[in-house]
Structure 1
Amino acid sequence: MDELFKIATGWLGWSPSETWSAPVIEILMAWDSKRQFLIDTNPFGKPPEKPVAANVAKEVRMGFRVAAMSRKTAT
């Protein structure tokens, strides 16, 4: 509960009376929204996005081609 109180009063700027009367899920949802807002409005860039499946597949195919071409043939 101490951590939730710190989050609600510190990061969210709620008053102590608002914090004590708020349900836990409300504090967590508000914190998650605030966190997402901070990520979205970060002037220094966003965290890396998940790789696109098509690009990953293409890179894997290229890796297999390179590996196949570098194999020694049996004599």
Structure 2
Amino acid sequence: MTTIQIELPDATVKAAQAEGLLTSQTLTRLLSEELCRHQAAARLLKIADRLAEADVAPMSMDEIDAEVKAARAERQRRAAGH
């Protein structure tokens, strides 16, 4: 376990304390969630680079909408046990 010390504006500390955000458990969760977002963004950028290299044509909004609807329908079908 590592101990860290940071400097924050007093108003930020007071507001965070009032919300119960300055506990080790909460800060660990917040940092973990942020790390996951950064990792997801990095993966997305790698995919975008690979798509650009492959010269894949961008999808239209209608195509994207159709893909989203199909994915949702599949998820509902699986949830229903089919």
TM-score interval for Structure 1 and Structure 2 normalised by the shorter chain: 0.3 to 0.5
Alignment TM-score, normalising by the size of structure 1: 0.35
Name the TM-score, length of structure 2 as normaliser. Answer: 0.33
The structure number with the bigger radius of gyration is 1
